[in-house]
């Protein structure tokens, strides 16, 4: 539960709600952006996602390094995180 996983912003919903549609390793879900509200997010940006919330904006290089690092943590760490993320019901 403690990981911060990089995700790419796919779309920002029109509703004006603090939400972003993001993808982590191909799995798409909605995350909450309340905690980075002051920042303008756009499709193509990268964010660090923790328990369904974008915690901070990061650059693409940092995202790639972090994802690679999580993959190398081995075992089922990334798979478990992705499975849980895939079940998330944030709308």
The footprint of another protein (CB under 8 A) covers 1-4, 32, 34-38, 48, 50-53, 55-56, 58-59, 62, 65-66, 68-69, 72-75, 77, 80, 84-85, 87-91
The strand pairing partners of 58, in sequence order, are 46
Q: Which residue's CB is nearer to another protein, number 41 or number 48? A: 48
* Angle (CA) 49 51 53, round 5°: 50
**Shortest approach of another protein to residue 11 CB, angstroms?**
19
Q: Which residue's CB is nearer to another protein, number 43 or number 71? A: 71
Q: Cβ distance 42 to 24 under 8 Å?
A: no
Q: Which residue's CB is nearer to another protein, number 23 or number 59? A: 59
* Angle (CA) 3 64 60, round 5°: 105
Q: Which residue's CB is nearer to another protein, number 43 or number 73? A: 73
Residues 6+ apart with CB under 8 A from 91: 19, 30
**Shortest approach of another protein to residue 43 CB, angstroms?**
21
């Amino acid at each position: 539960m403690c990981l911060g996983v990089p995700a790419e912003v796919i779309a920002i919903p029109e509703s004006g709600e603090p939400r972003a549609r993001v993808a982590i390793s191909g799995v798409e879900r909605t995350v909450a952006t309340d905690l980075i509200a002051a920042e303008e997010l756009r499709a193509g940006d990268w964010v660090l996602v923790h328990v369904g919330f974008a915690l901070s904006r990061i650059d693409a290089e940092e995202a790639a390094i972090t994802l690679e690092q999580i993959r190398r943590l081995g075992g089922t760490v990334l798979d478990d995180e992705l499975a849980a993320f895939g079940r998330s019901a944030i709308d």
